[in-house]
Each structure stands twice: as C-alpha cells, then as structure tokens.
Amino acid sequence: MSSFNRRSFLVATGAAASALAMPAISFGQNKPRVVVIGGGAGGATAARYIAKDSKGEIDVTLIEASKQYYTCFFSNLYLGGFRDYASIGHSYDGLAVNHGVNVVHDWAMSVDGAGKTVALASGASLPYDKLVLSPGIDMKYDSIAGYSVEAQDTMPHGWKSGSQVQLIKAQVENMKEGGTFLMVPPPNPYRCPPGPYERISMIAHILKQKIQRQKSL
Ligand SMILES: Cc1cc2nc3c(=O)[nH]c(=O)nc-3n(C[C@H](O)[C@H](O)[C@H](O)COP(=O)(O)OP(=O)(O)OC[C@H]3O[C@@H](n4cnc5c(N)ncnc54)[C@H](O)[C@@H]3O)c2cc1C
C-alpha cells in the first residue's frame, strides 16, 4: 500500500478528470441505506455489525480508498521481524461475501448533509439515510516547516501503517555504522500511547541484531 491522501488518490485514479461523466450509485433502493466512510478498524467494524445485526434489512455501503488495509496494530511486530508484512494486511472480501456489505473503493470528497449524498472522487454520488464517518487521522503536512507529502517518502512519519512502516524498517535495517535514528513521540493525547515505546524497542532489537551480525563476521 502506498502512502495515501486525497491528493495522491486523485492523481492515481485521474478521478478529477472523469468526475462529470459518472452517474449516481444506487444500492438497495427499497431498504434503509447506511453509508460508512473509511474502512479502517472503526468503519469496517461498524459496517460489518450494522449489516450482520440488521440481517440484511439495512443496505450497508462502505467507501474505502484502499483495496488492502494494513493495520497499525501488530505493525511494530512486523518492524521487529516477528511477523511478516502480509499478516498485517486485510482485504475487504469478507465484508462483501460474508456480510453483504457493498464495498466501494473510492475517495469520499464531500458530504451534502441536507441532500444526504456523498460525492466520490470518481464523480459518482451515493445517497444515504444514515452516515457513519470513520476516516481516521490525516497529516497536517504544513504544520512542520519543510515537511510535505513528498517528504514522507524520505522521512517517514509512521502514523499510518503500510508503506510508512515498510520504509522505517528498510531505513533501520540499512542504517550505516555510526548512523543516527531520531524519533519524536508527540505530546498526549495521540493515536496509540504505547506505540512509540513499542516501536523504539523493536528498532533497538533490529540494531542489536545488526551489531551482533557485524561482530560475528
Ligand atoms: C504505530 C501504531 C500502533 C498501534 N497499535 C495499536 C494496538 O496495538 N492496539 C490498538 O487497539 N490500537 C493501536 N493503534 C491505534 C489504531 O491503529 C487506531 O486507533 C485505529 O487504526 C483507528 O481506526 P480508524 O478506523 O479510526 O482509522 P484508520 O485505521 O486510520 O482507518 C481510516 C480509513 O479510512 C480511509 N479513508 C480516510 N479518508 C477517506 C475518504 N475520504 N474516503 C475513503 N476512505 C477514506 C483510509 O484509507 C483508512 O483505511 C496503533 C496506532 C499506531 C500508529
């Protein structure tokens, strides 16, 4: 999974250019419609249980940008070499097949609360009766002078899983002798209070193994 935000989604899909050509998407027209924006741990769980507990009486649509969700939880075990990358990735197939959730891989651009529709980057729009917003966090890139969407590919922020964690792992594993690793835990409250401490322990573990390997050469 590459690092994702609204801008990279639009560039990758060419969605802005095709916006005018797209029709409205309509699922389950005779049933109450719930639309969930964001298929992370929060949104996917909401979609799953609304679909399951309503026993098919509510039409549930999940809008999620990525086809594969890489969890933050367990990502530090991947970092330390205790789990493989594939084990922290999850597809949306189970939600569709086992629970009848309509999974739409698209970027929700805006919500019209009065008209009860969600506009998608592809240009389509989705009507709803109830809306669940679960888009997780995003970066304020310009809150740090010099930081940007592009800079995250050389100086990972690590707040999201997927390519950000892969990059941290590769950088630590390839660190040259005498290199410096700098990590800045943010002030509370933040996404995962133990996260930075788990992460730094795993990084120490990688570096210790690296030094032991070098000594034994
Ligand atoms: C390093 C680290 C370790 C962690 N470890 C743990 C742990 O061990 N246990 C634990 O309980 N928690 C842990 N957490 C916290 C946990 O990962 C988050 O609380 C959880 O991911 C929040 O889920 P969410 O669904 O709100 O957001 P997210 O998981 O961020 O999911 C949001 C989803 O919404 C999608 N999205 C966003 N905007 C749009 C849009 N406009 N259109 C379409 N899709 C959109 C994104 O693509 C994404 O898939 C950890 C966090 C970090 C950073």
Distance 21 CA to ligand 1 centre (A): 32
Q: What is the DSSP string of 125-192?
A: EEE-SEEEE-------GGGSTT--TTGGGTS---SSSTHHHHHHHHHHHTPPTT------PPPSS-S-
Minimum CA distance residue for ligand 1 atom 45 = 38
List the one residue out of 166, 162, 100 whose CA is nearest residue 136: 162
Angstrom distance (rounded) from CA 127 to CA 105? 16
Give how far the C-alpha of residue 214 lies from the chain's centroid of Cα atoms, to the nearest Å.
36
For the CA of 4, the nearest atom of ligand 1: 47
Q: How far apart are CA 213 and CA 69, in angstroms?
A: 34
The Å distance, Cα 211 to ligand 1 centre, comes to 34
Rounded CA-CA distance 57/204 in Å is: 51
pTM for this model (two decimals)? 0.89
pLDDT tens profile 80-101: 999 999 999 999 999 999 999 9
Position 48 confidence tier, pLDDT thresholds 50, 70, 90: very high
CA of 136 to the centre of ligand 1 (A): 5
158 C-alpha to ligand 1 centroid (Å) = 12
16 lines ligand 1 (CB under 6 A): no
Omega cis (within 30) before 189: yes
Q: Is the pLDDT of residue 163 over 50?
A: yes
pLDDT bracket for residue 214 (50, 70, 90): confident
Q: Which of 99, 84, 92, 72 is CA-nearest to residue 165?
A: 72
Q: Of all protein residues, whose CA lies closest to atom 35 belonging to ligand 1?
A: 38
Pick the atom of ligand 1 nearest to 136's CA.
27
59 lines ligand 1 (CB under 6 A): no
1 confidence band (pLDDT: 50, 70, 90): very low
Ligand 1 pocket, 43 CB below 6 A?
yes
What are the b/e assignments for 106-140, b being 16+ CB within 10 Å? bbbbebeeeeebbbbbbbbbbbbeebbebbeeebe
Identify the band that residue 217 occupies on the pLDDT scale cut at 50, 70 and 90: confident
Q: Please work out whether the CB of residue 192 comes within 6 Å of at least one atom of ligand 1.
A: yes
Paired with 63 in beta bridges are 37, 104
Tens of pLDDT, residues 112-159 = 999 999 999 999 999 999 999 999 999 999 999 999 999 999 999 999
Distance CA(134)–CA(215), nearest Å, equals 48
Tell me the angle at which helices 195-215 and 163-173 cross, rounded to the nearest 10 degrees. 30
| CB contact at 8 A, 35 and 118 | yes
